[in-house]
Chain A
Amino acid sequence: MIAELGHYALVLALALTLVQSIVPFWGARTGDQVLMASGTSSSIAGFLALCISFAALTYSYVISDFSLANVWQNSHSDKPMLYKVTGVWGNHEGSMLLWVLILTLFSAMLAAFATNLPSRLKADVLAVQGWVTLAFLLFILFTSNPFERLPQIPAEGKDLNPILQDIGLAIHPPLLYVGYVGFSLTFSFAVAAMISGRIDGAWARYVRPWALVAWVFLTAGIAMGSYWAYYELGWGGWWFWDPVENASFMPWLMGTALIHSALVMEKRDALKIWTILLALLTFSLSLLGTFIVRSGVLTSVHSFASDPTRGIFILGILLIFIGGSLALFAMRANALQQGGLFQPISREGALVFNNLFLTVSCMTVILGTLYPLFLEAIDGSKISVGPPYFNLTFGPLMIPILLVMPLGPLMSWKRSDLLPVLQRLYFVAGASLFCIILALAFTHDGPVLASLAIGLGVWVMLGSVAELVQRSGFPKVNVQTAIARLKGLPRSTWGTAFAHFGVGLMVLGIVGATAFSDEKGISALKGDTIEIAGFTLTHAGSQREQGPNYVQDTLLVSVKRGGVEELKLTPAKRFYTGHGTATTEASIKTYWFSQLYVSVGDTDEEGRTVLRAWWKSQVLFVWLGPILMAFGGCLSLTDRRLRVGAPKTSKAKRALANA
C-alpha cells in the first residue's frame, strides 16, 4: 500500500513537473504574471510529491518489504537500521530517485528563496529546471522504477553489497549529489539567459551563490568519497583516476572555473559569454558523469550495478540537453553583449589564467576518461588509461595555477603591476625556498621533485595568508588595529584565503602520501613481524567474531614503537552471509596527520595470513585541504555582497543619512 502511494506520488511529480515545464515558460513569453508565478507553486509541489515518494521507498526498506523487487535485491532483514536507510540510495533505482529529489529540491529552494529575482528570469529558470526533471522522471518511471512489485514475495532479501554497508554511504552520495545536481541551477540560469538574450553583472550575482553551494557540496562529497575508498577498499589508495572518480572530478574542475569567472562577470561585467558557456559545460559534465556511472560503459574499480539499456536512455538525455544548450549557445552567443575590457596584468587577468588552466586540464581528464571508448569504437582495441596518463598531463598543468594562485588576490581589478605584487610575496617566496632546502636536506637521496612540490604547497598556503596580512596593514600598524581590520574584512576575502590555503595543504598531503610513505607486506604466521616507519608490527593471533549480518576473522596486530607496545590494531576479513561476499576491513591508527594503515589478505591452509602495512605520511592533509576549501566556500556564501537586495550595512546607511 505504502509502495503504491510512493509510486503514485512519483507519477504525480511527473504531472506537476510537466506543468512547471510549460506554464511559467508560456507566461514569460506572453508576459502573463500569473502564469509566470505558477512556476513557484508547481516546483514546490513537485518537490513535496517526490519527498513522499522517497519517504515511501525508505519506509519499504525500513520494514524490509521484500515484495518490492528493489528492496529484495538490495536489503536484508538482519541488516542494521542505518544501512537499511542508506541502502535506499545504495542501488541504481534508489540513487536515481535521490538524484531527482535533489534536483527538485534545488528548484523548490530557488522558487521559495529567490524572491528578488526578476519574475521573467525566475519563470524561465524554473521551466528549464522542469525540463531536466521531466527527463529524469521519465527515465525512472520507464527504466528504473524502484516501486516494482514481485509476483511472489520472497522470504529474505539478497542483501546490500557489503562494501556499501558503511557509514560512508550515508555521507558521500548525498553530498556528492547535492553538488553534482546543484549545478543544474547554473545550467538553467544560463539557458534562461540565452532564451531572453539578456545577461549582465546582476545575472552573475544571482547565479554565483547557487554555483558556490553546489561547489561546496561537490568538494566535500569528492573528499569524503576519497576517504571512504581509502579505508574501505583496503589498498591504502585514495585516488585511482578511475572513470567513476573522474565523473565527479570533471564537473568539479569546470565548476571551480565557473565560480571564478562569475566573479569577474559580477564585478567587472566582463567574460560574460565565457561564463555562460562554463555554466552549461559544468552541468553537461555532471550529466556525462551520471551517464558514465550509471551505464557502466567504462571499467571501474568501484562497483555499480549497471545496465546498458539504461545507459542509452541517459545518453539520449545527455544528447538532448548538451546538444540543445550548445546549439542555443552557438545561435545566441553573437547576440549577447560583449563585456568590458581589461589589462592582462590585473585581477581579471589572473582569473582568466586560472580559467584557462582549469578548463584545459579538465579537457585532458575528459580525453583520458573517454579515450578507451573512442579507441574501442574505432579499431576495437581495448585499452585502459590509468594514473600514469593523468600524472603526466594533469600534473604539469596544475603547476602554473599553483604558482599564480597567491598573486591573484593581491592584484587590483582592471590594471595592476606585477612588481609591487611580487614584492609583497618576497617573504612567502623566501619561506618556500627555505622549506625546499629543508626538505632536500632531510630526505637523503630523496626525490627532488617531492621537495620542490613541498615548496609549492608552502608557497600557496603562505601566499593565501599574505593577502590577509597585507590588508590588515601589519606590521605598519599595531596588533589591535590589525586585528580590528581583519575582523572588518569581507567574508569573501576570508573565504578565498581559506580555500586557497586548503589547496596548498592538499598539495602537501599528496606529496606526503605519495613520496614519503612506505608499504610492506608479508605472509605471516603468529609471531612474525613487519618493520615499518619505526614501528614493529607483530601478528599476535586471530579470532573469529560474529557481527549482525557477517562473521569476521580479526587479526590482532600488536604495534610497538621503541620496544614499547602502543596498541593493538585489528584488521579483519569479513564474510557477509546474506550476500555471500567477503570484504577487507583495514585498521588505521592516526598519528597527528599521518596514518599507520594495516590490512589483511587471505589465510592459506598452513594458517599464514597475508599482512600488509602502510605508513601514510601527512595523508590527512589530502582530505583536510578540501574540507578547508569547502569551508572557504561557506564563508564566501555568508558574505553580504552575495545576498542580493540585502539591507545596507548600518555604516552605509549612516553615510547616506549624513549626505
Chain B
Amino acid sequence: MTRKQKRFVGIGVIGSVIGLAVLLVSIALRDEIVFFYDPSEVVTGQKVAPGQNFRIGGLVKDGSVLKEDTKISFVVTDGSNSVPISFEGILPDLFREGQGVIAEGALNTEGRFIAQNILAKHDENYIPKELEGVLKEKNIYKGEDNQ
C-alpha cells in the first residue's frame, strides 16, 4: 500500500468506529433515557402515555403508605397534585412519610404509577436534585442550611 492509501484506510476505520458509536449513542439517547416529571406534570399535562417509562418525584404523602406483604402503595405529592404509586420490593432505608422520594416506572391505564425502583438517598437532609427545584418553586421545601 502506498502512504496515501494507508492514510485513506486509517481514516476510513476511525470514521466507521466513530460512526458506529454515534449511531449507538443516538439510538440509546432516543430510547433509553428516562424523563423526570413531578406529579402536576403527570396529572395535568399530557406528557406521559401509559406504559411509557419515566421517573416521578415528590414527597411521600403523610398517612398514605400501605404495606401488604412485599407490596407497598403510597401517594407522592408536590403540594398541588398527587399520584398513587405501587411498588414491590425492598424500600430504601430513608423511605419515610413526609420525605422526598423518586420512583422509576410507568403509569398503568388507571393512572396508577407502577414503580420498578424507588430511590431515596442515604442522607436524611437529602432532597433529590430534580426535586429540589420543584419543591422550592411550590414553597414546600425551603432548602437546607447545613452550616
Q: CB-CB < 8 A to B91: which residues of A?
A: 601-602, 610
**In the bound complex, what is the Cα–Cα distance between A383 and B129 (angstroms)?**
11
B-facing residues in A466-509 (Cβ within 8 Å): none
Contact residues on A (Cβ < 8 Å of other chain), bracket: 35 or more
**In the bound complex, what is the Cα–Cα distance between A299 and B91 (angstroms)?**
19
Cβ contact within 8 Å between A389 and B28: yes
Indicate whether B48 reaches chain A with its CB closer than 8 angstroms.
no
Cβ contact within 8 Å between B18 and A393: no
Indicate whether B10 reaches chain A with its CB closer than 8 angstroms.
yes
Q: Which chain B residue has the least Cβ–Cβ distance from A608?
A: B69
**Given A383-B35, A522-B70, A582-B94: A392 and B122 interface contact (C-beta under 8 Å):** no
Q: CB-CB < 8 A to B33: which residues of A?
A: 371, 383-386, 389
Cβ contact within 8 Å between B32 and A521: no
Indicate whether B124 reaches chain A with its CB closer than 8 angstroms.
yes
A-facing residues in B48-88 (Cβ within 8 Å): 55, 67, 69-70
Cβ contact within 8 Å between B93 and A303: no
Cβ contact within 8 Å between A581 and B94: yes
Cβ contact within 8 Å between B124 and A580: yes
**In the bound complex, what is the Cα–Cα distance between A163 and B89 (angstroms)?**
21
Cβ contact within 8 Å between A521 and B93: no
Indicate whether A298 reaches chain B with its CB closer than 8 angstroms.
yes
For B, the interface residue count at a CB cutoff of 8 angstroms equals 42
Contact with B along A362-384 (1 / 0, CB 8 A): 01100110010000000001111
Q: CB-CB < 8 A to A319: which residues of B?
A: none
**Minimum C-beta distance from A380 to chain B (A):** 10
Q: CB-CB < 8 A to A299: which residues of B?
A: 128-130
Beyond A573-B93, A583-B93, list 12 extra A-B contacts (CB 8 Å).
A235-B90, A298-B129, A299-B129, A301-B121, A356-B17, A360-B18, A382-B36, A384-B34, A386-B32, A392-B24, A522-B69, A581-B122
Q: Which residue numbers of B lie inside 8 Å of A, CB to CB?
A: 3, 6, 9-10, 13-14, 17-18, 20-21, 24-25, 27-29, 31-37, 55, 67, 69-70, 89-91, 93-94, 119, 121-124, 126, 128-130, 146-147
Q: Which residue numbers of A lie inside 8 Å of B, CB to CB?
A: 69, 73, 161-163, 234-235, 296-299, 301, 303, 305, 341, 343-344, 356-357, 360-361, 363-364, 367-368, 371, 381-386, 388-389, 392-393, 396-397, 521-523, 573, 580-584, 599-602, 604, 608, 610, 612
Q: What are 16 A-B pairs with beta-carbon distances under 8 A?
A: A296-B129, A341-B6, A343-B6, A344-B9, A357-B17, A364-B25, A383-B34, A385-B29, A385-B34, A392-B31, A522-B70, A581-B93, A581-B94, A602-B91, A608-B69, A610-B91
